[in-house]
Amino acid sequence: MDRNQITGSIKEGIISALPLIFGFFPVAMAFGLLAKNVGISLQDSSLFSLMVFAGASQFMALDMIKDGISAGSIILSTFLLNLRHFIMSASLSVRLQAIKKHWLFIIAFGITDEAFSLISLRNRTLNLPFLLTLQIAPYISWVTGTIAGYLVGTLLPEAVQLSLGVGLYAMFMALLAPEVKKSFSVLFLAVMSGIFYLTASYFKLLPASWCFIASVILAAGIGAIIIKDEVVSP
């Protein structure tokens, strides 16, 4: 690629990343604020976002740390929750054959649900400058948002602090709603896994950390059967 092509790809990446940049920052602030309230240091909170970069997993891990769940259970729960990223990376790999393999590890690390959606919808050829810009910009927003939330979150009005956390649920709903419209099975699986988790937690059928793990495994197992049948049927 010549310089003009690289510059153009970077500009496209920045424009495409703008919704993620503005969306990630307040949610990351909520994470930083909650991490401080849980008693995690600024250094560890920053490393959390630097090394994990997975909003749902980070919030889940905070809840488990607060409840005194063991490190092994937290790691296993995070692994199960993030298994979808293996599928996302695998599906994109067929479109990245022109990119050198040593870059694929960085690209895979930067795959989020939102970035995957944007990349999947792009009809043009995927090139390295575009991908790196699309992923690095929201990554910086996430990390800086975490630090900002930790440092100044408590200075914000209480109503604003509470509203920051709503961003995570809004992102979940934004991801779930389009899929629910396409398939009743997705709605059924979401409701079923939620009911199972609440039932197992309320009646203490399993340890706290295993309620979530069991819900994920149950929903994934049933979903593999239901959605497969739905796809292959005429």
Instruction: Please indicate, yes or no, whether residues 214 and 152 belong to a single structural domain of this protein.
Output: no
C-beta atoms surrounding 15 within 10 Å: 11
54 and 9 together in one domain:
yes
For residue 208, the model assigns a pLDDT of: 65
**Successive 10-residue mean pLDDT values, the chain, 234 residues:** 84 90 88 89 94 86 85 84 80 82 87 83 83 94 94 78 67 70 81 87 78 76 68 38
Shared domain for 145 and 187, answered yes or no, is no
Q: Is residue 94 part of a domain?
A: yes
Structural domain includes residue 16: yes
Find where tokens 């900002």 sit.
148
pLDDT of residue 220: 72
> For residue 165, what pLDDT is reported?
62
pTM above 0.75, yes or no: no
- 192 and 143 in a common domain: no
Continuous H helices in 39-126: 42-51, 55-66, 71-81, 84-93, 101-109, 113-121
User: Distance (Å, rounded) from C-alpha 204 to C-alpha 118?
Assistant: 40
Could you tell me if 43 and 104 lie in one domain?
A: yes
Boundaries of domain holding 205: 183-234
To 10 degrees, the CA torsion angle through 85, 88, 93, 95? -150
Number of domains in the chain: 2
Q: Is residue 167 part of a domain?
A: no
Residue 165 lies in a domain: no
118 domain residue, yes or no: yes
CB 58 within 8 A of CB 159: no
**Strand, coil or helix: 152:** helix
pLDDT value of residue 227 = 66
Q: 151 and 102 in one domain? A: yes
Q: Tell me what pLDDT residue 59 has.
A: 86
